Amino acid sequence: MIPAALEYMRNVGDSELHQSATAGLFFDNIRETLVYESFELSHARSVNLNSSEPLKFVVFGLNLRNDRILFLHGKFVFRWTASPPGGHHTSSTACIRGKDLQWENGEASCVRGALVPIIAGFSSATLTTAGKAPLVPALFIFGDSLADPGNNNHLISLAKSNHPPYGRQFDTHMATGRFTNGRTAVDFLAEELGLPLVPPFLDSSTKGQKLLQGVNYASAGSGILNSTGMFFGEIITTWKQLEYFRDSTQPEIYKLLGKKAGEDFFRKSIFYLISGSNDFVNGYYFLIPTTPHGISIQDLMQLLISTVSSQLKVLYDLGVRKVGVAGLAPLGCCPSQITKYNLTAGNCVEFLNDVSEKYNDALKNMLLQLREELEDFHLVYSNLYDPLMEAINNPAMYGFNFTHAACCGVGKLNGKFICIPYSRPCDDPQHHIFFDYYHPTSRMYDLIFRKVYFNGPPFSIPYSGQFLVNLTI
């Protein structure tokens, strides 16, 4: 992190420019891109700037082929020019609106005081280089719709999002099966690790050498218990996801790498589990509960925690040593639950948030006990609850205008149902915390990821996700 973006611009070293010179691009065909998204740039550099001004985020990159003016969603203009290898000239011009840009003698400038305050307005910058060596061998993901990259596309299931308006701000601007407008938190994690976006297990192309960068088994509608999600039709339960890893993926990788190298591969890779929400909102509190008949909420929590513990031990027995485990988000703040319990906008369902907090406390305690029992098992708890509550309670701080109303959907707060195929969503998902009745926007996912990856307690326990990644074992 650096305190001022201008200092970065002044101090970019020639060596950094040389590394991206072969690409000569930022985006040849700039698409209708929201002001804040992350992109895979082949051999190019990208910089994300976090601003406390009304314009919250800017994405720009090096363009070494031509000087281009990039229009981002018609609201912002950024110009960055850089010389070929061996040169020294870099310059930048930023205007709030395209119409504020003027040209004179081949140079761009802003009119009417429209220059973005890049010296004091931007508080931090994150530099990433695509094409560098990955930080870990691979990333393996197990979970529900918060991480499903399209596995349910291959199933007969009601829990699908393989249609517009989902995916409008995704890299390809197409629906992939992700329940959001762009990337999910695990997508941002993969990018940070220097890996490609992790492919869905059920995709026919997920085989061979592609397995060596990881596999995503997550399935929308699934839960910790096998009974969860049965009303959606076909889903991949968490236990089935683990079975796919054990009986299909792991043997294939051993064939590719050999036993010894394979064991080292799995020991050093990152595994991530994100599940549990459906066991409550689409299980215990569902119209027709799918949880064991007559079970109390306290006993259900104990059952879920013991089941997660058993699932983690399966991974341990398979040679896995570095695992992130996500807690629950504030379930009572989802548009679906606010609508279900007929609360007014601005209010969360407090008893559901209390359930989330109690479950999270029990999960943290279980992970602590498991770390003590298996000393070489490196388990990190990811706190999804606090980042979302921070954004809900302080929306202006994070650039959100809508805390409970989803960007698309049906009914009050768009909280009755998922986004209807080809329906028109909101025009400003970057200002919404939720994209549909359950799931955050891509921007909110990125904020959650950054909180839990770059920070220790209380966002990541006992240490940050970044520390887990860099841990030598």
Q: What are the residue numbers of the active site? A: 145, 436, 439
d(CA 34, CA 72) in angstroms, rounded, equals 6
Which two three-digit tokens encode residue 272?
């991530």
Q: How far is CA 106 from CA 8, 67, 68, 110, 282, in A?
A: 25, 11, 12, 13, 60
Residue 433 near residue 395 (C-beta atoms within 8 A): yes
Verify cis geometry, omega within 30 degrees of 0, for the bond prior to 462: yes
Which two three-digit tokens encode residue 289?
């509960």
Long-range CB contacts for residues 306-313, cutoff 8 Å, separation at least 24: 306/366, 307/224, 307/225, 308/224, 308/273, 308/275, 308/276, 308/363, 308/366, 309/366, 309/370, 311/224, 311/238, 311/239, 311/242, 311/273, 312/273, 312/370, 312/377, 312/379, 313/370, 313/374
Which two three-digit tokens encode residue 309?
């513990």
Residue 236 near residue 217 (C-beta atoms within 8 A): yes
